[in-house]
Amino acid sequence: MTKKNYTLKEIAQLAEVSRGTVDRVLHKRGRVSEEAQKRVEKILKEIDYKPNLFAKSLKTHKNYTICALIPEDSEGEYWQQCAKGVQKAEEELRQFGISISYVRYVSTLKEFKTKLTEAIEQIPDAFLIVPIFHEPLKDLYRKAEDLKKPIALINSEVESLEPVTFLGQAYKKSGKIAAQLMGYLTPPQQDKQLLVMHLGIKSGHASHLTEKEDGFRSYFAAHHPYVTIKTISSTSIEDFVDTDFDLSHIAGIYVTTSKIHQLEGILKKHPHIQAIGYDLTAKNTTCLKNGTVKMLLNQNPELQGHQGITSLSELLLYSKSIPKRNLLRVDIVVAENLDEFS
Amino acid sequence: MTKKNYTLKEIAQLAEVSRGTVDRVLHKRGRVSEEAQKRVEKILKEIDYKPNLFAKSLKTHKNYTICALIPEDSEGEYWQQCAKGVQKAEEELRQFGISISYVRYVSTLKEFKTKLTEAIEQIPDAFLIVPIFHEPLKDLYRKAEDLKKPIALINSEVESLEPVTFLGQAYKKSGKIAAQLMGYLTPPQQDKQLLVMHLGIKSGHASHLTEKEDGFRSYFAAHHPYVTIKTISSTSIEDFVDTDFDLSHIAGIYVTTSKIHQLEGILKKHPHIQAIGYDLTAKNTTCLKNGTVKMLLNQNPELQGHQGITSLSELLLYSKSIPKRNLLRVDIVVAENLDEFS
DNA sequence: TTCAACTGTGTTCACGAGCACACATTACAA
DNA sequence: TTGTAATGTGTGCTCGTGAACACAGTTGAA
């Protein structure tokens, strides 16, 4: 039951060699006679040797730097929350020699490229990246792979590039969850009409949004096929307001981005519309509190940042293998449990 | 920005004393002149000294044992989930010299007493206890306080006894959350009737259940005062079924315990009734999947167990202060996001 | 006055792993 | 045969901490 933790010294005694020899066998540094090699390996097989991490870290006390490339954002907003999680992880891991180099960028392609280059030039021991743009990353990949620096990606996967770990959500399922909740919120009726809105998307990299839509639609197709679902994409809510879209028959709106707060005015005019959106930003939580938005799905950016750093740290410190994809839970948030998420 | 991690030697140099003196100040072992004391304390205030945990653990190499006293339960059930969280924490903390001694008990007063005595006789370094019965605990308290062993309580607080930390929920809020969800699930109508049920309670220690009820009622009183709410307490569902209680006007049932699965038959007969209950037990999740129960509130027993152990460990390892009450989040679970909680 | 006890201070050792280095042994070319 | 690599092997030092120890200086009681 209680496994003993053997030390190098004990193994050396058992194999009747010196500490140095055992060490050489373990680290495959050669200079060991066949006979000694065999004896040590035999002992090593019998016992499950695990080096004492305390002693190891104490000795090799390396200071690892992880470069975190995260979009600039204002206090309380999505990426700021993510950065907060990174900071929290940094505090916890500081004593283990982990430090973070923060590189924030405003969301333009040019800036992203500049900052990415900047990040690479720092030659950190690992990267944590929120890839709003995908093209420039391929360059990093080539360089990082040459240097064997691990990369963690947050929020969106980049096609054809394999990060060490990906932190994000199961987006299709996220859509299904939203759909079930929407089903509960809206009264059952034959001609129910719903709206899926991709609000405020900038670039073409929005596959995770369409995945959410797929999930949303597939739920209703399976459970309530009579429901009509329309989709609207628009960078700005103004484009939408200008059209004479008739909202009187719409029972609910599902916004796949964090911009549901832009609908506040519309929802006030049409209180019968049930609205579900994403993310606990300041503006969104206001809507949740005043009842214009019924539910928000929290994608846990803080946890994403936190886990990204801890995963990379475990890799650096203990060479611990980490999961390829770390799909985090989506929290269902209503007004009454909002304060549990602060 | 990047704070340095100072060592005893460096502090000694700054304060112009020897390492030993700094050590004596830090550990309050006396034998330090006032002057030296002041100098060292001044430096310590300026920098935020955190001892190198690796070196510390390497040297002291203490093996702490935490005794976990948790009710016996079958696989996948509530207390089993709690034990799972404890186990997970144990794995993470094994390298730091933390080990757990599991003491499981079947829920009878006699057994609880026996096992509690057994636990105390082991003289562990800390206790993690699920107190189904409150009386016998007072004995432990006296003994544990004599030995200065910290105690963490899970799930229910014991009146007049102060544990080092309490892990649980804000029960009144929990009731409010359930109420808001019930409000969303049941169609708005003037004569809406709801039911609060305390199913399967055994002893008189059910204050957390009435707290939930209070929260539930206060929400409706504030937001929908026209709603009628009735309360039913019964140890077994049979008592309830036998009465000719008319369910046709009941719009929703809120079960404050984890026994909502007992209503499955009734809910099948009255599909119009919206049901909300607690905890992701095997039987409950079945009901969630087949739609008889619409929502479950997950009280996160796994996280309770996990955080209980990590809190105690931090106390033992770093003498870190831990919050008196650690109120964990309640997760809202529907069928579609159920598998995110396994 | 003398010696024990006490005080304040610095030094040393041990923990386990990693690595450099010193030493011993063998091999092989000059 | 001698010199010089190459190959094994063991020892010693280091990391930062905690605790024991050594030691000088001071106090106080006999």
Distance of CA A222 to the CA centre of its chain: 29
Q: What is the mean pLDDT of residues B321-337?
A: 95
Q: Look at the alpha carbons of A276, A279, A282, A285 in this order and tell me if their dihedral is positive or negative.
A: positive
Model pLDDT for residues A169-207, shown as the tens digit of each residue: 999 999 999 999 999 999 888 889 999 999 887 655 678
B180/A contact by beta carbon, under 8 A: yes
Query: Whose CA is closest to A123, among A138, A101, A106?
Result: A101
CA of B322 to C1' of D16 (A): 26
Cβ–Cβ of A55/B58 closer than 8 Å? Answer: yes
A176/B contact by beta carbon, under 8 A: yes
A8/B contact by beta carbon, under 8 A: no
Q: CB–CB of A330/A140 below 8 Å?
A: no
How many residues in total does chain B contain?
342
Cβ–Cβ of A335/B180 closer than 8 Å? Answer: yes
Model pLDDT for residues A250-299, shown as the tens digit of each residue: 999 999 999 999 999 999 999 999 999 999 999 999 999 999 999 999 99
- How far is the C-alpha of B104 from the C-alpha of B55, rounded, in Å? 35
Architecture of the domain spanning A171-298: 3-Layer(aba) Sandwich (3.40)
Cβ–Cβ of A55/B50 closer than 8 Å? Answer: no
Q: Which nucleotide is nearest to A19 (CA to C1')?
A: D10
Model pLDDT for residues B203-234, shown as the tens digit of each residue: 556 788 999 999 999 999 999 999 999 988 87
B187/A contact by beta carbon, under 8 A: yes
pLDDT in tens, chain A (342 residues): 455 778 999 999 999 999 999 999 999 998 999 999 999 999 998 987 878 878 888 888 778 899 999 999 998 889 999 999 999 999 888 777 788 999 999 988 899 989 988 998 988 999 999 988 888 788 777 777 777 789 999 988 887 778 889 999 999 999 999 999 999 999 888 889 999 999 887 655 678 899 999 999 999 999 999 999 998 887 666 666 666 677 888 999 999 999 999 999 999 999 999 999 999 999 999 999 999 999 999 999 999 999 999 999 888 877 778 899 999 999 999 999 999 998
CATH of B62-169+301-328 given 3.40.50.1010, 3.30.230.10, 3.40.50.2300, 3.40.50.970:
3.40.50.2300
Q: CB–CB of A151/A140 below 8 Å?
A: yes
- Assigned token pair, B190: 């003037």
Q: In sequence order, which residues have a C-beta less than 8 Å from that of residue A92 and are 6 or more positions away?
A: A310
Helix (H/G/I), strand (E/B), else coil: B198: strand
For residue B215, the model assigns a pLDDT of: 97
Q: Which helix (H) or strand (E) holds B280?
A: none
Same fold, A62-168+301-327 and A171-298: yes
Helix (H/G/I), strand (E/B), else coil: A303: helix
Give the best residue of A302, A337, A342 to mutate against chain B (max B CB count within 10 A): A337
Residue spans of alpha helices (H) in B47-77:
53-60
- Assigned token pair, B43: 């430096």
Residue A7 CB closer than 7 angstroms to strand C?
yes
Domain boundaries, chain B: 8-50, 62-169+301-328, 171-298
Minimum CA–CA partner of B50 in chain A: A95
| Gyration radius from chain B CA atoms | 25
Distance of CA A118 to the CA centre of its chain: 23
With cut-offs at 50, 70 and 90, classify the pLDDT of residue B104.
very high
Architecture of the domain spanning A62-168+301-327: 3-Layer(aba) Sandwich (3.40)
